Structure 1
Amino acid sequence: MLTDERHRIILDLLKDKETIKIHEIVDMTDASESTIRRDLTQLEQEKFLKRVHGGASRLQGKLKELSVSEKSSKNLHEKRLIGQYAASLIEDGDCIFLDAGTSTLSLIDYLPQMDIVVVTNGLTHVDLLLQKGFKTYLVGGMVKQTTKAMIGSGAVESLKHYRFDKAFMGANGIHAQYGFTTPDPEEAQVKRVAIELAREAMFLTDDSKFGEISFSKIVDIDKAMVITNALDEEQDTAIMKQTTIKVVTT
């Protein structure tokens, strides 16, 4: 079977299924596993798909963004692991920025009972932070309906009044060449400013975000470390060369 024909079969499979396994493609094409791996690498380089462990998955749309309620039901165990580890990095006396999003929301359950100050642009974060007794500042701006994030020029100007020891961030995509990305340019700007104002910045993301590219760049990979639940060393070597990645499994 010709290369182009195999590629067409692979892409047709991804139209019907979000994720496909190498052995499925081998069965469909009667090609060797090594040949299919080369095909997937080429198609990933051409930005037709994203390689995952044991196969490939469909790339998300550049502007696609789930709502808070939709995100809340996804990868719950992984988010808890990531949030628990991230919370363990906070020290007494820290001033932290907590980005809007469900991965950063999971961190709040594990925040230590210390003398810390929390600044957030996440409207959904505020009640839980206050229930736990933390001094909390909510940045100004417009409320984004889908993510419940404060965004826009008001949020950016509000942020500039603060400085942070640590910033805990969320992203929709992590890519060696295109950096950390998110669908909304206004939300990306808020994230970028928060990182610039922090001594340390950490992205809390499950492994599904690796290889994804959203519409708006936040920062380059080397501007922040990553806390995640899994890593494919074969595929993510380029990212590992540029920043620290902490994998939390249990």
Structure 2
Amino acid sequence: MLQDERLEAILLYLKDHERITIETVCEINNVSKDTARRYLIKLEELGKVVRIRGGAKKLSYSNELYDYSQRLHMSSTVKDRIGEYAATLIKDGESLILDASTTVQCAAKYLKTNNHTVITNSINVVNELVRKDRIKINILGGTLDPQHQAIYGSRAIKDIQQYKVDKCIIGTCGISEEGISTSIEEEGLLLREMIMRSQQTILLADSTKFNKLFFQKVCGLELIDTLITNEKLPSNLKKELSRHSVEVIDITDHSLSPQIKK
């Protein structure tokens, strides 16, 4: 049996079981314990399993729910740096969609260009932009979610469908080989519409989002143009993003004065 077939045998076992032991890996693949451990390490690198003492368990969907203030303070320095870099990619006069991500709020804070029309569903993004000159702000209609300081619902989706913009800047709860996802169904539906209404989509995601999969899928990786992050990507994500021609910007490798293509 080839290695890929043996890895698949492990994943098939985990479809019907919560976890698998080293001994079971040895039995179903007829290999030594050292080889079994290497297989589990490989599957973890691929984002397929989580290794535990004595074996591994299946990768389950994340259900983390935090309110806006909690999210704002999680990895706050990293989010600030990602947002600051993202702001340097915006040129004067561009029309923008900004979502309700805390990292996108940081991008709004550092925005120094002018003559923008900005469409957003975020109360906090509005608060950042209202202090700046020569920026027109269009707020989506709908129902305010006070926990996340964002506007969602069918009205917001209907509103966003009326626009076509140069760039869409969004965050995510998780990015995996399957795409980007969120724990809030209404947010996922709105984010997908935001992406469909833009010429270019820029995703802001710190390393805590790598290989995480949440309840509501937003889109596949093929709809993302640029990813801005703060660490080297896991090998499986790097491969998939490259396959879909996604530009990956690791802020640790860049200054805050990128050469903007005209």
Query: Which range, TM-score by smaller chain?
Result: 0.7 to 0.9
Alignment CA distance shift 1:41-1:146 (3 Å): farther
**1:239 paired to 2:241:** yes
Counterpart of 1:248?
A: 251
| Structure 1: runs of 5+ lacking an equivalent | 9-30, 51-55
Taking the aligned partners of 1:113 and 1:46, their CA distance within structure 2 comes to 39
Taking the aligned partners of 1:233 and 1:158, their CA distance within structure 2 comes to 37
Quote the RMSD (CA, aligned, Å).
2.8
Q: Which has the larger radius of gyration?
A: 2
Alignment of 1:111-126 (within 5 A): 111-126=111-126
Counterpart of 1:192?
A: 192
Taking the aligned partners of 1:84 and 1:189, their CA distance within structure 2 comes to 27
Taking the aligned partners of 2:42 and 2:201, their CA distance within structure 1 comes to 31
Alignment CA distance shift 1:233-1:47 (3 Å): closer
Counterpart of 1:39?
A: 40
Judge conservation of contact 2:231–2:250 (CA < 8 Å) in 1. Answer: yes
- The one-letter code sitting in structure 1 at the alignment partner of 2:153 is G
Q: Deviations over 1:72-93 (max 9, x none)?
A: 1111221122111211111111
Normalization by structure 2: what TM-score?
0.75
Q: Deviations over 1:81-122 (max 9, x none)?
A: 211121111111111001001010110121014111111111
Taking the aligned partners of 1:200 and 1:221, their CA distance within structure 2 comes to 13
| Identity between Structure 1 and Structure 2 (%) | 26
Judge conservation of contact 1:175–1:239 (CA < 8 Å) in 2. Answer: no
Taking the aligned partners of 2:91 and 2:23, their CA distance within structure 1 comes to 51
Counterpart of 1:28?
A: none
Moved more, 200-209 or 112-121: 112-121
Deviation at 1:66, TM superposition (A): 1.3
SS at match of 1:96: strand
| Structure 2: runs of 5+ lacking an equivalent | 1-18, 25-32, 255-262
Alignment of 1:74-153 (within 5 A): 74-133=74-133, 134-153=135-154
User: When the two structures are aligned, how many residues end up with a matched partner?
Assistant: 219
Q: Deviations over 1:204-244 (max 9, x none)?
A: 11011111101111111010121111123534222332222
SS at match of 1:90: coil
Taking the aligned partners of 2:168 and 2:106, their CA distance within structure 1 comes to 15
SS at match of 1:131: coil
Alignment CA distance shift 1:187-1:230 (3 Å): same
- The one-letter code sitting in structure 2 at the alignment partner of 1:39 is L
SS at match of 2:65: coil
